[in-house]
């Protein structure tokens, strides 16, 4: 019998995914697909005959966004690890920061990269560096993953022109100035990333038994350790080592920057209004070269060519090794898409709308509006998995409150981002991406990634509410 109450359906989905993945220990792809069928059969919001199609659509929609990037990221990871490019970058980091503070280089790099580049792409690029750093130091892998995740995730939800904050600003209207939101986002993101990535990262690193390097992205632990012991003369130069990262950042940032400038020109902002025509003409080219599918493919070719040049292997062996990395990437993509399908079925049950009806938006236009916005975004995120969906949905709900706000609208936009980042778990495709690319167990991912996203959310909430109470700027 189909159930009309989405909250009960959500509870059924939660029990199902825990039973299948944790108790029965089914492979993640199978467990998530079976859990999706259970949710689909339980909910009255989706006709029973449409459930398989809904699951396939959710799987496909996720795969559209992550399929090619994950496959190319697998090649990038293989190329950078096997050629010694990742090792070269790590050694350069450590020569500047020292081995004991090398995590600061990962934190700074991931924070800077994720402003123009999407979170997922940053994690693809930084994971090989974290693995190489773990092999070189022999410790602190949980800390390395925390600083990478915190740096990328905080800018992902707080700082335009990344899509989530940009969409929230658009939903809230002209009252949210993008320049002010960028400044406010950075001011919130930096301390939030320090608390979640460094302080929590050091604590959880001390609590977990040292996490070993496991085979992932076509790279075994033995290969990574062997590379850490190679003499510097056998490694590629710094520019060649960085080339896959530089290509990705430059190409994606070109599209992000041009889109941003086109929007400013359309709004009549000087001096961009004077070059609106040329900007709009170049926008399709920027969209092509800056699409992650294209950008990561170019980066993968660069990493693969460096691998072939440095290792001096036959092209047949080189091809076989790249194919093996693609097999690894395909498995990661399948797991990630299955998580997207599970989250999609929960969303189709109507849980997002149900939650927003439960939460009463505060009146008076002050801090209680910020609290309400955070609660709505957090609840939607936990229920259906997508941070971006939670942020955009909440922004649409809160937009009518903007004219009556007793605090600056940027606070509202930022606190929506904080709420939307909370508690990434089994229904979030990002959870599975971090688990598989990081080479973690489910328990390790919950302790590192799920806890990290929750700390980011709560810390951001506390900072924004405190500052808004002291300096409302209305």
The pLDDT score that the predictor gives to residue 277 is: 83
DSSP 8-state assignment for residue 216: B
pLDDT digits (tens, 9 = 90+) for 276-301: 888 888 989 999 998 889 999 999 99
Which single residue is written with the structure tokens 């259970």? 38
- Residue 363: predicted pLDDT: 47
Local structure of residue 161 (DSSP, 8 states): T
Q: What is the pLDDT of residues 165-183, one digit of tens each?
A: 877 887 887 778 777 888 8
What confidence tier does 444 reach under pLDDT thresholds 50, 70, 90?
A: very high
Estimate the crossing angle of helix 28-42 against helix 6-18, to 10 degrees: 160
Q: What is the mean pLDDT of residues 18-29?
A: 89
Read off the pLDDT band of 96 (50, 70, 90): confident
pLDDT of residue 162: 72
Report the distance separating Cα 252 and Cα 260, nearest Å: 13
SS3 229: coil
pTM of this structure: 0.83
**What does the domain layout of the chain look like in residue ranges?**
57-470
* Signed CA dihedral, 26, 31, 34, 35: sign only: positive
Taking the C-alpha atoms of residue 386 and residue 110, their distance in angstroms, rounded to an integer, is 21
pLDDT in the model for residue 253: 84
Burial environment of residue 44 by CB neighbours within 10 A (0 to 12, 13 to 18, 19 or more): middle
Q: Which residues pair with 464 in a beta bridge?
A: none
Q: So what's the pLDDT on residue 389?
A: 82
Torsion angle of C-alpha atoms 287, 288, 289, 290, degrees rounded to 10 = 40
Question: pLDDT at residue 426 above 50?
Answer: yes
319-340 average pLDDT score = 89
pLDDT of amino acid 1: 59
| Angle subtended at Cα 208 by Cα 121 and Cα 431, rounded to the nearest 5 degrees | 30
Task: Look at residue 212 and give its three-state secondary structure.
Answer: coil
**Least confident stretch, 23-32, 198-207, 211-220, 358-367:** 358-367
- Whether residue 35 is predicted with pLDDT greater than 80 in this model: the reply is yes
pLDDT at 159: 86
User: Does the pLDDT value for residue 360 go beyond 70?
Assistant: no
Q: Where does the pLDDT of residue 450 fall: very low under 50, low under 70, confident under 90, or very high at 90 and above?
A: very high
The DSSP call for residue 219 is B
Residues 6+ apart with CB under 8 A from 226: none
Contacts 24+ apart (CB under 8 A), 93-101: 93/129, 93/133, 94/133, 94/136, 99/136, 99/137
Cis peptide before 98 (omega within 30 of 0): no
Residues 29, 20: Cα–Cα separation, whole Å: 11
3-state secondary structure of 45: coil
pLDDT at 116: 67
- How much is the mean pLDDT over the chain? 87
- Mean pLDDT for 232-241 is 88
What are residue 105's DSSP bridge partners? Answer: none
3-state percent breakdown (helix, strand, coil) of the chain, nearest 5: 80, 0, 20
Lowest mean pLDDT of 98-112, 133-147, 315-329, name the range: 98-112
Tell me the mean pLDDT in the region 25-32. Answer: 90
Query: Could you write out the three-class secondary structure of 111-158?
Result: HHHCCCCCHHHHHHHHHHHHHHHHHHHCCCHHHHHHHHHHHHHHHHHH
For residues 357 and 351, the model is more confident at 351
pLDDT on residue 74: 87
* Mean pLDDT, range 373-399, rounded to an integer: 87
Per-residue confidence (pLDDT) for residue 219, from 0 to 100 = 66
Segment 106-128 shows an average pLDDT of 81
Share of the chain above pLDDT 70, in %: 96
Whole-angstrom distance, CA of residue 452 vs CA of residue 446: 9
Q: Please, are residues 141 and 213 in contact by the beta-carbon 8 Å criterion?
A: yes
In the prediction, which pLDDT does 218 show?
61
Q: Cα separation of 290 and 117, whole Å?
A: 10
d(CA 235, CA 86): 9
Residue 158 has pLDDT above 60, yes or no: yes
The Cα–Cα gap between 30 and 91 comes to 40
CB 73 within 8 A of CB 131: no
The angle subtended at Cα 255 by Cα 249 and Cα 261, nearest 5°, is 120
Q: How far apart are CA 70 and CA 333, in angstroms?
A: 6
Over residues 61-66, the mean pLDDT reads 86
Q: Which tokens sit at 164?
A: 């989530």
Residue 55 φ then ψ, to 5°: -65, -45
> Which of the four pLDDT bands, split at 50, 70 and 90, describes residue 393?
confident
Q: Is 448 exposed, middle or buried (0-12, 13-18, 19+ CB in 10 A)?
A: buried
| Across 340-368, average pLDDT | 74
- Name the token pair of 111: 């924070």
What are the two backbone dihedrals, phi and then psi, of residue 459, each rounded to the nearest 5 degrees? -65, -45
Please tell me the distance from the alpha carbon of residue 186 to that of residue 170, in angstroms, as a whole number: 19
pLDDT of residue 49: 93
Tell me the range of 159-173, 191-205, 319-333 where mean pLDDT is highest: 191-205
């Amino acid at each position: 019998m189909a159930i009309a109450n989405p909250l009960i359906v959500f509870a059924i989905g939660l029990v199902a995914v825990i039973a299948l993945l944790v108790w029965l220990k089914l492979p993640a792809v199978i467990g998530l697909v079976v859990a999706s069928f259970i949710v689909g059969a339980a909910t009255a919001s989706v006709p029973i005959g449409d459930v398989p199609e809904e699951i396939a659509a959710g799987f496909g929609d996720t795969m559209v966004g992550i399929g090619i990037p994950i496959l190319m990221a697998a090649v990038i990871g293989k190329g950078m690890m096997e050629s010694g490019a990742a090792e070269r970058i790590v050694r350069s980091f450590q020569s500047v920061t020292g081995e004991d503070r090398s995590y600061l280089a990962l934190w700074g790099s991931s924070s800077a990269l994720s402003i123009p580049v999407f979170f997922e792409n940053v994690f693809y690029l930084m994971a090989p560096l974290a693995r190489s750093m773990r092999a070189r130091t022999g410790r602190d892998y949980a800390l390395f993953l925390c600083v990478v995740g915190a740096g990328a995730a905080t800018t992902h939800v707080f700082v335009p022109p990344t899509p989530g904050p940009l969409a929230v600003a658009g939903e809230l209207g002209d009252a949210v100035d993008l320049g002010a939101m960028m400044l406010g986002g950075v001011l919130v993101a930096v301390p939030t990333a320090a608390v979640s990535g460094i302080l929590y990262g050091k604590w959880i690193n001390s609590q977990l038994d040292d996490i070993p390097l496991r085979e992932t992205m076509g790279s075994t632990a033995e290969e990574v350790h062997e590379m850490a012991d190679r003499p510097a003369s056998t490694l590629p130069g710094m520019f060649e080592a960085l080339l896959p990262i530089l290509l990705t950042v430059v190409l994606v940032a070109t599209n992000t920057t041009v889109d941003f400038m086109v929007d400013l020109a359309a709004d009549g902002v000087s001096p961009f209004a004077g070059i609106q025509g040329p900007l709009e003409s170049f926008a399709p080219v920027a969209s092509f070269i800056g699409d992650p599918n294209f950008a990561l493919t170019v980066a993968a070719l660069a990493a693969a060519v460096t691998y072939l040049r440095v290792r001096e292997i036959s092209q047949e062996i080189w091809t076989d090794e790249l194919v093996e990395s693609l097999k690894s990437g395909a498995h990661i993509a399948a797991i990630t898409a299955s998580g997207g399908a599970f989250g999609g079925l929960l969303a189709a049950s109507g849980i997002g709308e149900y939650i927003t009806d439960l939460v009463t938006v505060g009146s008076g236009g002050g801090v209680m509006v910020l609290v309400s916005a955070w609660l709505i975004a957090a609840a939607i995120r936990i229920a259906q998995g997508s941070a971006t969906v939670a942020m955009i949905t909440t922004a649409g709900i809160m937009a009518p409150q903007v004219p009556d706000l007793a605090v600056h609208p940027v606070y509202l936009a930022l606190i929506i981002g904080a709420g939307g980042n909370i508690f990434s778990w089994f229904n979030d495709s990002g959870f599975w991406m971090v688990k598989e690319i990081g080479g973690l167990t489910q328990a390790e991912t919950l302790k590192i990634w799920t806890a990290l996203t929750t700390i980011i959310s709560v810390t951001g909430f506390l900072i924004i509410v405190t500052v808004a109470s002291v300096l409302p700027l209305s």
